[in-house]
Amino acid sequence: MSLPLRPVHTHHDPKPAAVDNAPPMRSKVSGVLAAAACAACCALPLLIAAGVLTTAGAAVVEQTLLAVAAGLAAAALGMWWLHRRRGARRAAAAGAACGCGGGCGC
């Protein structure tokens, strides 16, 4: 006595798209500019010693560079966070597109 053959399940469950965790290029550029502003801030004592800047001028430049570096670092982190959030939304939408209610456990 032979066993009846079962039909082969040919439905392919697509895997949800992976979330891109790498920072976008604009975030990398902002991060590099923030690092450059920090490096310039650290170079101020050398510029004062060389006579390029006065002490009063260096104080103004230092405060400006610190504010710029903080703003650029915050912008870089914000852009990276938005990039990850949008990627997660796209991945969730791709998972819901299979028609299985988002779980793809058909």
Q: What is the pLDDT of residues 21-66, one digit of tens each?
A: 777 888 889 889 999 998 988 888 898 888 888 888 888 999 999 9
CA separation for the pair 97, 37 (Å, rounded): 45
What's the pTM value of the predicted model, to 2 decimals?
Answer: 0.60
Q: How far is CA 8 from the centre of its chain?
A: 43
Read off the pLDDT of residues 83-105 as tens digits, 9 standing for 90 and up. Answer: 888 888 888 887 766 555 555 55
